């Protein structure tokens, strides 16, 4: 027997304007193992988010908005391999961020994380506070796993979270919409229709 579940309404806005000096973009796990077809945990909808994320990053950098990347990072014998199989192993091709979205050396900040949450056991919160960040635009993959946990953890630390719909991907439609619903309803995050609706003021 299969159950059919209707996703509750998600509030979506067309445009938001954010102060560049108090805003950061967080790119979650856009790594080869997740984004490329030959990756070990390929997310079929992830490649379609590369171009929107790139547009967002170009706009953010032009306005002086800080850019952070999370990089899923695992080592030999990691217990998470029992759940998902080996993936994002340190130093491998699959662990690297996709070439199209490569961080800018000396400008962007890359956070290595060992769990779903980009804040768990990392310096992300400390660095955001050092730079006076209050708003986070979160993009990346996987929507209901690392994106959701990172966005939720940010909200629990009282950052205001914004998620553009074309900037996140999931393994299926239910997971995608359920994640957006949770971010919007539970964490009071703002769901934006597209990266093109996000602007930064200086």
Q: Retrieve residue 152's tokens.
A: 């939720």
Please give the backbone phi and psi of residue 13, each rounded to the nearest 5 degrees, phi first. Answer: -110, 155
Q: Which of 29, 108, 117, 166 is catalytic?
A: 29
- The CB density around residue 15, as the number of other CB atoms within 10 Å, is 11
Label residue 113 exposed, middle or buried (CB < 10 Å: 0-12, 13-18, 19+): buried
Residue 6 appears among annotated catalytic residues: no
Task: Report how far apart the first and last C-alpha atoms of the chain are (Å, whole number).
Answer: 55
Q: Which residues pair with 190 in a beta bridge?
A: 162
Residue 29 appears among annotated catalytic residues: yes
Residue closest to 197 by CA, chosen among 48, 8, 14, 5: 14
For helices 148-156 and 173-185, angle between their N-to-C axes, nearest 10 degrees: 0
Q: Which of 36, 71, 113, 160 is catalytic?
A: 113
Beta carbons of 46 and 35 less than 8 angstroms apart: yes
Helix (H) or strand (E) holding 18: strand 16-19
Q: Which of 71, 146, 160, 166 is catalytic?
A: 146
Residue 125 appears among annotated catalytic residues: no
Three-state secondary structure call for residue 158: coil
Where in the sequence numbering do the catalytic residues fall?
Answer: 29, 113, 146
């Amino acid at each position: 027997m299969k159950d059919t579940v209707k996703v509750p309404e998600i509030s979506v806005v067309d445009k938001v304007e954010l102060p560049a000096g108090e805003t950061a973009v967080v790119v979650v796990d856009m790594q080869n193992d997740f984004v490329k077809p030959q990756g070990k945990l390929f997310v079929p909808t992830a490649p379609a988010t590369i171009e929107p994320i790139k547009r967002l990053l170009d706009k953010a950098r032009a306005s002086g908005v800080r850019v952070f990347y999370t990089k899923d990072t695992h080592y030999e014998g990691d217990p998470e391999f029992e759940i998902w199989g080996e993936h994002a192993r340190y130093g491998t091709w699959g662990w690297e961020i996709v070439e199209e979205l490569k961080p800018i050396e000396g400008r962007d900040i890359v956070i290595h994380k060992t769990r779903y949450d980009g804040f768990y056991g990392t310096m992300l919160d400390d660095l955001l506070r050092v730079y006076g960040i209050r708003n986070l635009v979160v993009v990346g993959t996987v929507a209901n796993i690392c994106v959701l946990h990172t966005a939720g953890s940010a909200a629990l630390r009282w950052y205001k979270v914004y998620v553009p719909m074309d900037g996140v991907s999931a393994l299926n439609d239910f997971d995608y919409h359920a994640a957006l619903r949770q971010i919007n309803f539970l964490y009071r995050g703002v769901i934006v229709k597209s990266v093109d609706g996000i602007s930064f003021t200086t």
